[in-house]
Amino acid sequence: MEAKLKVAVLGTGIMGAAMARNLLRAGLEVSVWNRDAAKTEPLASEGARRALDPAEAVEGADVVLTMLYDAAAVEEVIRAAAPGFRPGTAWVQSTTVGVKDVPALAKLAAGLGLDLVEAPVSGTRAPAEAGQLLVLAAGPGAARERVAPVLDAIGARTIWTGEDPSKGAAARLKLVVNSWVIAASNAAGEVVALAEALGVDPQQFLDVIDGGGLDLPYLRTKMGLILDNGLEPASFAVDTACKDAHLIVDAAAEQDIRLDGAEAFAARLDRVAEQGRAKQDMAAAYYASR
């Protein structure tokens, strides 16, 4: 009987936990680690092996998947995991990082003998839980074959953007996608704020755009979270969205372009985080208008 593919998931927050569950459902052998160990307990009851530290999590793993907060966290955790790696382990790096972070992570992978596959994902809590994420990936052909069962388990589709993961093609595409996500989410909050200020029922706005070219399911979803006070649990939390918004602004600045909308939304997210809403859904940026 063919041995099960062994996968270590480092980071079991909203997205990482959902990914781990779908890997288990696909019949893979999964070990998990999280800085807050309590977040791995539900996964253990579903068949995952809990590890006390990153090095223990990656022992014997064929593939390691990182879904952490930012590039600094990724580097810290991978360095901590280093004693447990075996040469040639495939590393699926799904954390959203900046364009300038990718070469450093690729250098780290090479130094540790890891085969890096850049693989940020597009999607929030619901598609992650359903295994319907869109994976934006970059990596050489041989590595693609090895990680295919992992990407197939966590996503509905994989878009390959290049062969060389050190070039950051997938990270670049992810930032472009997220620039649209944050623009649409900000629009939802500002529409509700303006409608309320002018004494207009927000539902009337939705009735006006219903079925037309201006209608957008995502806009309706985010407006619904605001109007129904459904900002927790978050699908895409304020603190993570804020981090991504600043990565987008920085990436634009490095190319000598200015994104006024992204800059403004980053500032709005900063303000609502300071209000104690960092773990609410990013639609909470609505409160920056109040």
Q: What is the pLDDT of residues 186-231, one digit of tens each?
A: 999 999 999 999 999 999 999 999 999 999 999 999 999 999 999 9
As a whole number, mean pLDDT of residues 263-267 equals 95
What pLDDT shows up at residue 2?
Answer: 60
What pLDDT shows up at residue 290?
Answer: 86
pLDDT more than 70, % of the chain? 99
Environment class of 262 (CB within 10 Å of its CB; exposed 0-12, middle 13-18, buried 19+):
buried
Q: Is the pLDDT of residue 3 over 80?
A: no
pTM for the structure as a whole:
0.94
CA distance linking residue 251 with residue 199, whole number of Å:
39
In degrees, rounded to 5, the angle at the alpha carbon of residue 124 between the alpha carbons of residues 270 and 66 is: 90
CA distance linking residue 12 with residue 34, whole number of Å:
6
Q: Give rounded-to-5 percent helix, strand, coil for the chain.
A: 55, 15, 30
E strand intervals along the chain: 6-10, 29-33, 49-50, 63-66, 90-93, 115-118, 121-122, 133-138, 155-162
Start-to-end C-alpha separation, the chain: 62
User: Higher confidence at residue 154 or residue 87?
Assistant: 154
Q: What is the pLDDT of residues 7-27, one digit of tens each?
A: 999 999 999 999 999 999 999
